[in-house]
Amino acid sequence: MGIQDTPRLPFYQETGRECALFETAHAKGLPLLLKGPTGCGKTRFVEHMAARLGKTLHTVACHDDLSAADLIGRYLLKGGETIWVDGPLTRAVREGGICYLDEVVEARKDVTVVLHPLTDTRRTLVIDRTGEELVAPREFMLVASYNPGYQNVLKRLKPSTRQRFLSIGFDFPQPEAEIAIVARESGLEAGRVAPLVRLGGAIRRLSGMDLEEGVSTRLLIYAATLMASGMGVMQAIEAAIIEPMTDEADVQRALRDVVATIYG
């Protein structure tokens, strides 16, 4: 949890009209929800757009214990006195920055109570502990993301929350685009990246295996980075794809069989 300042433009390859939609949402003060599988580019997209708009990005990795106080702030003891310290959401509101809540569905339920007034015409943040009611400036933007594939009965983004946001659906890039992305990020030549991307596609098409999700573009970049540094193909794939994806020995064997069909 904390601030991520993005002074330069991180690489992001647009796949549709998502950049224009983000810019319009920012200009109109509308919150935005990004939906898609892990490692498909949601966070990089937000980093890219924050830098493109020249805004400070406050990124919060949501988790089971994340509370409203973690976002808003709290009193802390410093140098023998108690002082108020803003949380990342409050800093973003005060500064007119972008607050990005990654995997917002993982946060505690009291977080959504805080977000609701910021996602309608009020655009306010109430800080009970200090008695403040902050009105978000026009430049402030709230962005959240989640992975619909991980939702269950206990952790589901309620319709009353979803319908407060504009929304963009993300998926893994098409093969040609993914080759370009992996080559650009890893430094591995496109000809050697192409089989890796075919492998990724083959794993994503698997059914009946104990895999919660297919291999992410992020892991393909990791494998290509190892290969670009001189590591052998099989060792790179083992370390960057097979081991991170599963601990089950039988599933690992099945994945190695898929690798063999691509690289055999």
Query: Are 85 and 101 contained in the same domain?
Result: yes
| Residue 148: predicted pLDDT | 84
Residues 105 and 179 in one domain: no
In a shared domain, residues 160 and 182: no
pLDDT at 50: 97
Residues 27 and 123 in one domain: yes
Within this chain, do residues 61 and 189 fall inside the same structural domain, yes or no? no
- Residues linked to residue 143 through DSSP beta bridges, in sequence order: 32, 100
| Distance between CA atoms of residues 46 and 39, nearest Å | 13
Give the single-character DSSP code of 172.
P
- Range list of β-strands (E), 118-204: 124-127, 132-135, 141-146, 166-169
DSSP string, 116-185: GGGGSTT-EEEETTTTEEEEPPTT-EEEEEE-GGG--SSS---HHHHTTSEEEE--PPPHHHHHHHHHHH
Half-sphere exposure of 205 (CA within 13 A, CB side): 7
Alpha carbon dihedral 27, 29, 30, 32, in 10-degree steps, equals 70
**Helices 190-204 and 217-228: crossing angle, nearest 10°?**
150
The residues pairing with 34 across neighbouring beta strands, listed in sequence order, are: 145, 168
* Tens-level pLDDT at each residue, the chain (264 residues): 333 444 468 899 898 899 999 999 999 999 999 999 888 999 999 999 999 999 999 999 999 999 999 999 999 988 889 999 999 999 999 999 999 999 999 998 889 899 999 999 999 999 999 999 999 999 999 999 998 876 554 567 888 888 999 999 999 999 999 999 999 999 999 999 999 999 999 999 886 667 777 899 999 999 999 999 999 999 999 999 999 999 999 999 999 999 999 997
Q: What is the pLDDT of residue 4?
A: 41
13 pairs with which residues across the strands? none
Looking at the structure of the chain, the number of domains it has is 2
Q: CA-CA distance, 222 to 235, in Å (whole number)? A: 12
Dmax of the chain from CA atoms?
A: 67
- Both 197 and 138 in one domain: the answer is no
Domain that holds residue 206: 175-263
What was the pLDDT predicted at 207?
A: 60
| Torsion (CA) 167, 63, 223, 173 in degrees, nearest 10 | -10
Helix (H, G, I), strand (E, B) or coil at 79: coil
Residue 203 half-sphere exposure toward CB, CA atoms < 13 A: 32
Q: Which of 169, 194, 212 is the last residue of a domain?
A: 169
Residue 207 and residue 245 in one domain: yes
Quote the pLDDT of residue 188: 97
CATH number, residue 59 = 3.40.50.300
Q: Which of 124, 141, 169 marks a domain boundary?
A: 169
What span, in angstroms and rounded, lies between the C-alpha atoms of 133 and 111? 17
Q: How far is 244 from 43, CA to CA, in rounded Å? A: 20
Domain stops at, among 134, 154, 169:
169
Does one domain contain both 192 and 211?
Answer: yes
**Among 221, 48, 25, 253, CA closest to 141:** 25
pLDDT at 202: 94
* DSSP letter assigned to residue 55: -
Same domain membership, residue 119 and residue 56:
yes
DSSP 30: -
> Are residues 184 and 164 both part of a single domain?
no
- Do 110 and 15 sit in the same domain of this protein? yes
Do 49 and 124 lie in a common domain? yes
